[in-house]
Structure 1
Amino acid sequence: MCGITGLIHLSGLSIDPTLLLGMNLAIKHRGSDDQGVFIDLDIGLSNRRLHIIGEKNEGHQPMHFKERYHFVFNGTLYNYKALAEKLKAQNIPVHTSSDTEIAFIWLIHFGLNNLSEWEGMYSFIFYDSQDKVVWIRRDTLGIKPLYYALLNGYLAVASETKSFFHFPDWSFEVDNEKILLFLTTGEREIKGDPFWKKAKPVPTGCTLQLNYTLGRRFKWKILNDADSKPDESPTQIETLSFKEATLQGKFILEKAVLSHVNGIGPLGFSLSGGLDSSLIFSLYKYFQPQCIPLAISYAEIENKEINVLKNHFTADYYSIPIPSFEQFQDTHKEVVLLSEGPLPGPNAIYHFNIYAIAKQLGVKIMLSGQGADELFLGYPGFLTSYWKDLYVNKKYTNLLSEVIHTALTRTDLYKPLLQFLKNKKHGRIDKKNISLSDLRDNTLIDSNLPYLLHAEDRHSLANNIESRVPFLDSQILAFARKLPASYSINQGKQKWILRAIGEDLLPESILNNYSKKGFPAKMPEPNQREKMAFLSDLKEFISQDSHFFLPTREPIQLFHQYPALAWRIYSLQKWLKIYNIQAT
């Protein structure tokens, strides 16, 4: 796990080494174990390394081979041992335990062919100095970040956009549209796109390739993968019964969890008492009962479910107290700087604190439950879309069953259920609305997941920890996308197949709890002075000649009646002041 940067002069001139060194310095928090810089006239690469896999003396970056090939890599290949065996079967020598070196050897000998065999999360820059070709790439889901910017005649590439801030051409310009979307919905990093006008994410599922043209100028193009999207054919899973699919899913998830725990140092889990993190935790303990991982939770949410986990599984359990408002605000600024943008909610700060405590406890790898809600239709919006699909496809018996059971068992969904029934009564169900499968892909690629992965990456690496997401294993992704919707939603029960997978592992209080679990969602209670400072920031935003719509222009009403919006304004104000941003 690392931070990487690349600097390429598009006119073939020698690069300014101080620019590359500045890029590397800006992401020093991403790796404290090693660093390296390489410059070849018009191209430079750099790396900050966090040592997780392989021997300490292996994996130094940038890597070089025969003075021709050069490479920087961020991420982890979970099946690196299997890849090494495939290389050996082709009589390609492998003398390393570093997954980064195996990735490098693979690219040297196979090029971009068969990258679908890589199981992991990654971004990389590969440079062939003889043919003057550069490959820039991220994993298919964009678990690992990589951004680019065109500045001062360069193509600059980096794991975080803060590596661009020292360029003379850089400016902290943002679009009003992105701020408006953030204020109204809390969404950011749509398709991984940052707030900044001048920075863009490297696209996923393809390779950005640069080649020399006549006159020693670089020309770039995007190489699309034939295998960049998972197979969407449903034939395999449709023929399986629910029980057979559950057994297959359990096998795939077990394999993913076990592959995600390789590495050095103690292993950690953050527990909310919800299904996703509890299932990952229980599967690990089932196969590694002798191992004692660290399990971290907040004292405020130490509910019946977490206490049941404590009784079921042996681990080192740590409870974190809620910070004071003053401590919370100090961390708020730190996380805004890390995140390079305002925070959608206070839970982002609680999430960061989990990693800060894990660092103090010596944890090097944390397993996260991110991706389960997106893949297995866990958000309330999926249920509404499922009802609409049943209605449009005239599956009225199934629809009636779903509506009745939801009404009887899901009090948390009364509001969307009543709205759906009202729309049905008045004939307002739009048959052209986004389908359930498209909605899932939207949450995976466009809206929900990109920011969640962004936060996992920033919060973990700032604390010298590698965060891993077993639910986003490529085999689980392919499995989930082929499932019939009725295997994920059944009689109002969302993530139904995950609950079936956990039936022999988890207590009923977790399996049968459908309310969303998570870190604390509210900021600590401020004292009067702190509250007045908060209201002052709201008032300052309201007093500006702003065209953003607000439900009220009274700060005290915003604070009490619209707390989510008040928080977003408050965090936005903090971000705008830190960077002296002028929205345009």
Structure 2
Amino acid sequence: MCGINSYLSFSNQSINPTILQQMSDNMIHRGPDDEGFWIEKTIGMSFRRLSIIDTEGAQQPILNENETIVMICNGEIYNYRVLRNELEAKGHHFKTDGDTETIIHLYEEYGIDCVHHLRGMFSFILWDKKTNTLFGARDHFGIKPFYYLFDEQKLICSSELKSILKVSNQSHSLDPQSLVHYLTYQYVPEPRTMVNGINKLLPGHRLICRNQSLKIERYWEPTFQPKEQDVEVVKEKILTTLQESVKLHMQSDVTLGSFLSSGIDSTAIAAIMRKETKFHTFSVGFEGEQNECTVSRKTAEILDTYHHEWIIKEDEYFEAVNSSVWAQDDPVADPSAVALNLLSQLASEHVKVVLSGEGADELFGGYRIYQEPFAIRHIQLMPEIVKNILHQTIKHFPKFYGKNYIIRATTPIEKRFIGNAKIFTDDMVEILNDNKMQYQYVDAFEWAEQYYNRVKEHDDITKMQFIDLSLWLPGNILAKGDKMSMAHSLELRVPFLDKKVFEVASQIPTEYRVNRNRTKKIMRDALQGIVPEHVLNRPKLGFPVPLRQWLRGLRGEECLDVIKSSGLDQYINIDYVDALFRQHQTGKIDHSRKIWSLYTLSQWKVMFLDRYQSSIFEQEIQKNVVYDGHAELYA
């Protein structure tokens, strides 16, 4: 686990080593154990290392035998030993025992198609001296980050947005399109960022830069192909594949542990790990009825782990907000990100690597919203013309019990679901300072349409899973996972997000995944006898942060003061924000998620836009980019 940076200049001027040093210094937290540099005329790389495998060797940047290829990689390749044996059989010679060198030899053998052979989490950058080509790639699910800035003068790539801002030598502004998306999604959907001109490489994509032209193309997509199978056969496939993935993810030359919540996902990982060895587990919770530590503590006792927990107090939570926003690069208004920051802090005091349960919900159907098609099935069976008339009639009625149910039931999935968070939607015009802005930019439902178009033939549950895999998972879940763990020099591994595990999950019939009464139905059945009974069918909580209560009274007033003093009124209607606060303070309407989104955004603005002297509100322009047939993502 590391931090990577590269700077490719399109002029004849040699790279200044100070640039790479600044980028490297800006992310010491991603790799405090070592650093490395490589420069040749107009191309340079820098690397921060968190030593996990082959801790004494495997320094980066790493070159092949004849020094025609140089590369840096952030992540872990879990099948590197198998690949190494295959490559040695083909005549390749290795000089380290690390996993990164495997990619170089795969590139020598297969070129840019080397990515098809990798099983793991990664973002890497490779320079081919023979063809003067920069080749980069990001893993299948987007576990590891990959930011880049491309213009007429240069291509800068990095694990962190702030490192690009540090050396871009230009003014950066807030991207208005990304602001609109953030206000609805609570994060900026990739490939955009909140900063104009800086983008993310999408999951399952590769980047090729040659002759000052940049091409980005997809090499993998999470395709669902359900097929009829015997239930017992599917259960066996799930268990054996997950056990294999966990074992591969436990490869390490340093101490490892596991996050442990009250839910089935992290518990399953910990239970499978415990079959191999005894290790450390880590939990956080909040005082009150939904304190997850009560359940995780019982689980740890049953599994017999070295358990550590932290009951987070309100003051501790808010003291960690600034560091959380700074670490995340882009604003992510998920309240659990701060809790994950503190959980990572706790874990880093004992181990260097942790395994966690992210991805199970998206693969196996774990979110309760996936049960909605069962609840609205009777209305959905009505003729379209009847549903349309009912919808248009009911929406003009005064509020009554069941109105929202009928509205949702008569609304197509593409117009009601964009993922697990939907903050500002109908009130977008009111919240924006420029009322015309909502109509000048693509809204969240239009953005999601491109993903719906790729799964038209599937049922609504599968469509929702695909939307979450494409948007929510990389934009929220994995973004906060990587940034909060790496802020404490902690490697986070996610065994559910393995392409072999997905292959099994993608073939499961929809009715096995979710029914009216259970989410992750067949996964739960497969883990019977592995996961303790008190967790097996426990409903999903996430991190139940008590924001609703905290943002009432004095704490809420403090957050409002921060929003007002941040200069956010350049983009946001502060009078409307003030009204939201007053309504929330009465206790009649819960606006905590909206308030938190604006509070996070205000903190981000001060730390990033103001810090880098960004004040121009302009639209992004991309040049010389060929984007594999869907350039609308950049339009």
TM-score class normalised by the smaller sequence: 0.7 to 0.9
Aligned to 1:360: 349
In 1: Cα distance, 2:210 partner to 2:178 partner: 33
* TM-score normalised by structure 1 residue count: 0.85
In 2: Cα distance, 1:564 partner to 1:299 partner: 18
Secondary structure of 2:579's aligned partner: coil
Deviates most, 250-259 or 439-448: 439-448
- Kept in 2: contact 1:3–1:30 (CA 8 A): yes
Distance 1:261 1:282, change over 3 A: same
- Kept in 2: contact 1:296–1:318 (CA 8 A): yes
Give, in angstroms, the shift of residue 41 of structure 1: 0.5
What letter is aligned with 1:197? Answer: N
Aligned to 1:70: 70
- The CA RMSD measured in Å over matched residues stands at 3.0
- Kept in 1: contact 2:77–2:99 (CA 8 A): yes
Runs (5+) with no aligned partner, structure 2 = 383-400, 416-451, 453-459, 618-635
Determine which of 482, 486, 492 is the counterpart of 2:511: 486
Deviations 1:330-377 (A, max 9, x none): 32111111112334133211110111111112x111111111111122
Determine which of 296, 300, 305 is the counterpart of 1:310: 300
Deviates most, 351-360 or 550-559: 550-559
What letter is aligned with 1:370? Answer: E
Aligned to 2:280: 293
Aligned to 2:440: none
Aligned to 1:129: 129
Aligned to 2:579: 553
Give, in angstroms, the shift of residue 524 of structure 1: 8.7
- Kept in 2: contact 1:152–1:168 (CA 8 A): no
What letter is aligned with 1:205? Answer: G
Secondary structure of 2:125's aligned partner: strand
Deviations 1:455-506 (A, max 9, x none): 1111111211110111100011122222111111123200111211221122
Aligned to 1:219: 213
- Kept in 2: contact 1:30–1:50 (CA 8 A): yes
1:574 and 2:574 matched = no
Aligned to 1:400: none
In 2: Cα distance, 1:149 partner to 1:26 partner: 17
Aligned to 1:166: 166
1:337 and 2:336 matched = no
What letter is aligned with 1:261? Answer: M
Distance 1:488 1:206, change over 3 A: same
- Kept in 2: contact 1:136–1:208 (CA 8 A): yes
Determine which of 503, 513, 526 is the counterpart of 2:538: 513
Secondary structure of 1:178's aligned partner: helix
What letter is aligned with 2:213? Answer: K
In 2: Cα distance, 1:552 partner to 1:535 partner: 8
Distance 1:418 1:513, change over 3 A: farther
Aligned to 2:371: 383
In 2: Cα distance, 1:553 partner to 1:431 partner: 31
Give, in angstroms, the shift of residue 4 of structure 1: 0.6
Give, in angstroms, the shift of residue 40 of structure 1: 0.8
Aligned to 1:346: 335
- Kept in 1: contact 2:186–2:334 (CA 8 A): no
Aligned to 1:43: 43
Distance 1:488 1:232, change over 3 A: closer
Distance 1:66 1:469, change over 3 A: same
Indicate the percent of aligned positions where both proteins have the same amino acid.
24
Residue pairs, 1:152-551, within 5 angstroms: 153-167=153-167, 169-183=169-183, 185-212=184-211, 218-225=212-219, 228-230=220-222, 232-234=224-226, 238-285=227-274, 287-288=275-276, 290-298=277-285, 300=287, 301-302=291-292, 304-325=294-315, 327-361=316-350, 363-385=351-373, 422=406, 428-430=410-412, 435-518=460-543, 520-522=545-547, 525=550, 532-540=557-565, 544=569, 548=573, 550=576
Secondary structure of 2:524's aligned partner: helix
- Kept in 2: contact 1:295–1:317 (CA 8 A): yes
What letter is aligned with 2:310? Answer: I
What letter is aligned with 1:319? Answer: E
Aligned to 1:408: none
Count of matched residue positions in the alignment of Structure 1 and Structure 2 = 546
In 2: Cα distance, 1:128 partner to 1:393 partner: 57
Distance 1:515 1:210, change over 3 A: closer
In 2: Cα distance, 1:296 partner to 1:187 partner: 25
- Kept in 2: contact 1:256–1:470 (CA 8 A): yes
- Kept in 1: contact 2:23–2:167 (CA 8 A): no
Secondary structure of 2:468's aligned partner: helix
What letter is aligned with 1:298? Answer: G
- Kept in 1: contact 2:55–2:253 (CA 8 A): no
Deviations 1:73-119 (A, max 9, x none): 11100111111111122132235320011222222233223532211
In 2: Cα distance, 1:545 partner to 1:292 partner: 50
Secondary structure of 1:144's aligned partner: coil
Secondary structure of 1:60's aligned partner: coil
Aligned to 2:113: 113
- Kept in 1: contact 2:260–2:356 (CA 8 A): no
Give, in angstroms, the shift of residue 171 of structure 1: 2.8
Give, in angstroms, the shift of residue 139 of structure 1: 1.2
What letter is aligned with 1:146? Answer: F
1:565 and 2:564 matched = no
In 2: Cα distance, 1:242 partner to 1:473 partner: 22
Distance 1:222 1:186, change over 3 A: closer
* TM-score normalised by structure 2 residue count: 0.79
What letter is aligned with 1:371? Answer: G
What letter is aligned with 2:583? Answer: Q
Secondary structure of 1:134's aligned partner: strand
What letter is aligned with 1:277? Answer: S
In 1: Cα distance, 2:357 partner to 2:312 partner: 22
What letter is aligned with 1:264? Answer: D
